[in-house]
Amino acid sequence: MYEDKKLVCKDCGKEFVFTAGEQEFFAEKNLVHEPQRCKPCRIARKNASKAERVMYTGICATCGKEAKVPFEPKNGKPVYCDDCYSRLNKD
């Protein structure tokens, strides 16, 4: 019923294929508009809207090495480096 279609990306101008399987998926989900961007441009656009994660530095409570964590270390709360954290969560 569906056949592959060649479309042109509105961001980079390159041709990409809107496959029969993708068209069937769009129809099942009642999506009426064809994609306007190729996959790399869709991914880039999605990632551009994400806020960059702030990382903080602390000292690992187990080995004493520097540890990068996605939260601000507070006094009294242990911080673990990736290796020590992995070992703690294996048990």
- Is residue 65 over pLDDT 80? yes
* Mean pLDDT within 5-34: 97
The domain locations on the chain are: 5-48, 56-90
- Is residue 91 over pLDDT 80? no
Cβ neighbours for 19, distance < 8 A, ≥ 6 positions apart: 4
What pLDDT was estimated at residue 49?
A: 81
CA gap 61, 79 in Å, rounded = 6
Q: How confident is the model at residue 52 (pLDDT cuts 50, 70, 90)?
A: confident
34 closest CA partner among 52, 62, 7: 7
What pLDDT was estimated at residue 89?
A: 84
- Is residue 48 over pLDDT 70? yes
Q: How confident is the prediction for the chain on average, in pLDDT?
A: 93
Which two structure tokens, joined as six digits, stand for 73?
């270390």
* Mean pLDDT within 47-68: 90
Q: CB of 60 within 8 A of CB of 84?
A: yes
